Amino acid sequence: MNQLSRAILSGALFLTAGAASAATVEVRVSGVTAKGKVSVAVCDKTRFLKQCAYNASVPAQAGETSVSVKGVPPGTWAVVAYQDENSNGELDTNLLGIPKEAYGFSRDARSKFGPPGFEDAAIEVGEAPTTATVNLR
| Mean local confidence (pLDDT), 23-49 | 97
Is the pLDDT reported for residue 84 higher than 70?
A: yes
Mean pLDDT of the chain: 89
Please count the CA atoms within 13 angstroms of the CA of 89 that sit on its side-chain side. 5
Please tell me the total count of domains within the chain: 1
Is the pLDDT reported for residue 125 higher than 60?
A: yes
pLDDT at 41: 96
* Continuous H helices in the chain: 3-9, 118-121
The pTM of the full predicted model, rounded to 2 decimals, is 0.84
The per-type count for the chain, helices as H runs and strands as E runs, is 2, 8
pLDDT at 28: 98
**55: domain range?**
3-135
| Mean local confidence (pLDDT), 28-57 | 96
pLDDT tens digits, one per residue of 85-104: 999 999 999 999 889 999 99
